[in-house]
Structure 1
Amino acid sequence: MSARYGAHDLGFVESCATSHAPVRLTVDDRFDRRELLLHLGDVLEAASGVAKIDRPDEPVSRVALSDSSLQAFPFLRNVATTVLAKDFPQRVASAYGHWPRALLDAELDHAALALPVRRELFDRGADGWDAYVGYMRQKVVWFGVELPDTSTSDTKTVGPSTPAPVQERSPLGKTGWPWTPLG
């Protein structure tokens, strides 16, 4: 159990004495959602900062190392060297554009959050991706874990191009995270 979760944040489904069903632990992921939303804000701020720097044909990772205004965003140093400053804002939009909707889904799709980021910003660069995952896992322990290998899976089917399922709105209003209707 992570130290960041208190006993009140965990829900337990206990097995009945007459049942041999395993005990299942469900973690309240609202803190992970918050951390991912905060990271999204940092990424958008970083993209804005990169766009303001007049070095469009330099790799983002090099610009991040040499420009003091980008030092607050250590994840930029891990972006693939093939990602140029002029392309970075569009790549960020493609990698993270679906996050707000995905973070409101009842169940977080971990792969759908991570795969577009890996595809758009790391170009299968294992070292940069591993460093980014290490950075992200300081706050969200499951980020980037157990992803399919990009050489054997079609990551284009996961992420921004995949439409979110339409969910019926609750006539009773917002009843709780993620605002599921009562009854």
Structure 2
Amino acid sequence: MKDAYGRRALLLQLGDVLKMLDYIKAHSHDAQTVGDLIRHHEALAGIALLDSVAQTMTVSELEYRALHAFCRWPQLLLDEPLDHGALATPVREGLFDDNPYGWESWTESLANVVPWLATAAAVPV
């Protein structure tokens, strides 16, 4: 299977997203926005995706958008060949549509193992 290290990195990223969403569901009763969430819950500090999305996004919007953006990843990561656009585009559109700097920040955090991620998403016109 080609791209084994990239697939592994993306699978780990998916695991981090799922752990983040699980933690948010269990502990975010007092947080309205992503910024509030990060300030009130040290356990979420340093999660690249959470640090990169708009800090003004509501927690419920983050949950919905993240689930939608990553729901196809398990199957896509098993497909051969790896469809870079199908992996990247829903994340860019769902979580970073109005936040190109956030997209750059998140993809940069994965650039060592998934160098194609930043350019794989269809750029909105």
TM-score, normalised by the number of residues in structure 2: 0.86
Higher relative contact order (CA 8 A, sep 6+): 2
Which of these residues, 80, 86, 92, is aligned with residue 112 of structure 1?
Answer: 86
Q: How many residues align?
A: 124
Runs of 4+ in 1 over 6 A off after TM superposition: none
**Stretch deviating more after TM superposition (89-98 or 49-58):** 49-58
- Superposed, 1:158-177 pairs within 5 Å as none
Counterparts of 1:1-183 in structure 2, within 5 Å, are: 28-51=2-25, 52-58=27-33, 60-151=34-125
Identity of aligned residues (%): 32
SS at match of 1:50: helix
Question: Whose strand proportion is higher, 1 or 2?
Answer: 1
- Cα deviation for residue 62 of structure 1 reads 4.2
Q: Which has the larger radius of gyration?
A: 1
Cα deviation, residue 120, structure 1:
1.3
Instruction: Decide which moves more: 133-142 or 35-44.
Output: 133-142
Specify the code of the residue in structure 2 equivalent to 1:76. Answer: L
Distance 1:114 1:121 in 2: 11
Structure 1 window deviating more from structure 2 (131-140 vs 82-91): it is 82-91
Consecutive unaligned residues in structure 2, runs of 5 or more: none
- What is the deviation of 1:134? 0.5
Structural RMSD (CA):
2.0
CA contact (8 A) 1:95 1:121 kept: yes
Gapped regions of structure 1 (runs ≥ 5):
1-26, 152-183
Indicate if the aligned counterparts of 2:53 and 2:102 stay in contact, CA closer than 8 A: yes
Indicate how the Cα distance of structure 1 residues 119 and 95 shifts in structure 2: closer, same or farther if over 3 A, else same: same
